[in-house]
Amino acid sequence: MQAAQAQYEPMKLADMRISPWHTCPTLVYTPDLVPGKRYPLLVCFHGRSIAGKDPSKIFREGITRQIKEGRKIAAVNKKDGKRYEFIVVAPLSTSWSFYPQHTASFLDDVIKHYPVDTTRIYLTGYSAGGWSVESAKTHSPEVSRRIAACVTMSPPITEKDYRSRYKLVADANIHTWYFAGLQDGSTLGNTRVFMDSTNKYKTGLVKLTEYPGGHSGWHTFLNPSWRENGMSIYEWLLQYTTQTDKR
């Protein structure tokens, strides 16, 4: 078992429940946990090329790659001046990316096993994982209320039913930072659809970074040292919390 786990260091492989009948292989990173302390949660959804049965592929891109390359996923919250370290979870899907109907059960199981600050649950995803973020936050009021903020990169378009439910995002006050390449086909247009769908119900919840290039660039933006207007994505996320502690 130790030899099997060694290939995933500094993360660990765990099976997290996504329904009463199914679990999902998930890479988990925890900082040095202090008894009694709770930590913000970063949920990382992968792109389509990562899907399958090999959890080690999750390290190819995203926040998990940053961790594998030795970067600390931590930031100072500019609102309170405190430094926060994140618990990071990255589920592996057998196809496409993470499906929204599994979000509630997945979060329940993560919270059951790890000391999560449930007012600071953040969703992130690139490519198909961006679809997962947008689908999860518009899946149901129960899920939406649990999400503090999101980072969505280069997303495919979601299904029509999900695009019609952005009032859930407005009601839950979910802030989202979008990233899209100017040469990345339809993803910039998809991003604008999601932003317009949010702004229809409430303004001030969305932020967009456009960049030269195609379906790439995520490694740069997810690096804790990268900043736009003096703020990394991790510092930006920490500004936001949900209204209540939902365990």
Give the tens place of pLDDT for each residue, 108-144: 999 999 999 999 999 999 999 999 999 999 999 999 9
Reported in sequence order, the residue ranges of 182-244 that DSSP labels E, i.e. its strands, are 206-211
Cα 172–177–178 angle (5° rounding)?
Answer: 120
Please state, in angstroms and rounded to a whole number, the distance separating the CA atoms of residues 106 and 37. 21
Write the DSSP symbol of residue 186: T
Residue type, 16: M
Span 9-38, pLDDT tens digits:
999 999 999 999 999 999 999 999 999 999
pLDDT surpasses 90 at 185: no
What superfamily in CATH does domain 2-238 come from? Alpha/Beta hydrolase fold, catalytic domain (3.40.50.1820)
Q: What is the pLDDT of residue 1?
A: 54
pLDDT surpasses 60 at 210: yes
Write the DSSP symbol of residue 226: -
Q: Where are the domains of the chain?
A: 2-238
Is residue 174 a contact partner of residue 180, using CB atoms and an 8 Å limit?
A: no
Please state, in angstroms and rounded to a whole number, the distance separating the CA atoms of residues 243 and 63. 26
Q: What is the pLDDT of residue 244?
A: 62
